[in-house]
Structure 1
Amino acid sequence: MREAQQNTLLLEASDGILAARAADGDVDAFEVLARRYGPLMRVFAAKLLGSDVESDDVVQEAFLTAWRQLDRLAEPRAVKSWLMRMVTNKAIDRMRVRKQHDDIDDYEPPARSSDNPERIIEMRMQLQALSTALTNLPDEQRQAWVLKELGGSSYGEIAETLGLPASTVRGLLVRARKTLMHEMEEWR
């Protein structure tokens, strides 16, 4: 009975209390945090990566890293944004690795019977140009762009995830969009 009551108290505890307890080695507190934010992290990683399988791996890596580094978390109440920033970084790392190993020529988008081969080749070239343009963006601009355009995050969420002021995020997105528009001009 006492254990059930303690579990109920943990479920109702604030993020700050759970993070502080987990930093002290309380596995049950960490498990509550994982259950509380794991689904959000998984959906977010899936949007960034475009893969449910990879998103599970990224979230698991983020939680393993979080468990090891919880004692370094300066503000336990900010554990949600800290976890989201961690999953973002892990997803971006995964995209970098994928970029080094995947050949864009191997990607074949599903073709409708009305699509002709020229259109398919044009789409491939366009995707390759976008991929190259994104790769050439500075890291913070690329991260902000991916979070906004692929992840659907708000400016505030991006600022929290990247640990930057919202005004900086706006500037990063303006520069990223301007660069991408310039780089993709011939595809308009």
Structure 2
Amino acid sequence: MAEQHHREVLETAPDWVLVGRATEGDTVAFAALVRRYAPMMRAYARRILPGTAELDDVVQETFITAWEQLETLENPDRVKSWLMRITSRKAVDRVRALRPHTDIAALEVPGPQHSDPPRRHEASAGVQALREALADLPDTERQCWVLREIGEYSYDEIAEQLELPASTVRGKLARARQHIIVRMEEWR
């Protein structure tokens, strides 16, 4: 009877109380958080993932991570947004894992037939110039450029990954591209 009353009280308790109790090892309080936020997390993951087969796994992995890292949550009142961020990262990780990958080391690409030393030197110098241009970019602009141009991420994926608004990502990408165009002008 006392355990039933404990559960009923926790169902209506504020988030900060549930987080505090769960941090102290109260699995009933953590279960109340699971019941409170699992449907919303599942709906959110559904918007990111291409299918529904992975939804429950993502939500379960999120709660496992949350249980393990609950002590790191600085503001217990913000547990909802914290759980949604973890859900987002887990869902994006699943999307990335579903993308086809090519093992570059396994590729045997023949060199160009006319791969004479001057052309190889020019190509090497171009790659080095691009490295230097990227190194000159501020960190966030470089990360946006690499994720978009090399990783082929969407603007929304980059925004989620870097925890930035999509409009900021667009601006940083525009600045990064302009910088690289200017720096690479002689290689056109």
Q: TM-score, normalised by structure 1?
A: 0.59
| Structure 1 segment 43-122 matched on structure 2, within 5 A | 43-101=43-101
Percentage identity across paired residues of the two chains:
40
| 1:133 Cα offset (Å) | 6.8
CA shift in 2, pair 1:9/1:39, >3 Å: same
The structure whose RCO (Cα within 8 Å, separation 6+) is larger is 1
Point out the structure with max Rg over C-alpha: 2
Conserved? CA contact 1:19–1:29, under 8 Å: yes
1:142 aligns with 2:157: yes
| Structure 1 segment 164-183 matched on structure 2, within 5 A | 168-172=165-169
| 1:101 Cα offset (Å) | 5.0
| 1:95 Cα offset (Å) | 1.1
Identify the structure with the greater helix proportion: 1
**RMSD (Å) for aligned C-alpha atoms:** 3.2
CA shift in 2, pair 1:137/1:50, >3 Å: closer
| 1:96 Cα offset (Å) | 1.2
Partner of 1:16: 16
Residues 106-163 of structure 1, C-alpha deviations (whole Å, 9 max, x = no match): xxxxxxxxxxxxxxxxxxxxxxxxxx8794348x85243xx7xxxxxxxxxxx9xx4x
Q: Which runs of 5+ in 2 are unaligned?
A: 103-147, 177-188
Residues 6-31 of structure 1, C-alpha deviations (whole Å, 9 max, x = no match): 11110010011101111111100110
Distance in 2 of aligned mates of 1:12 and 1:134: 48
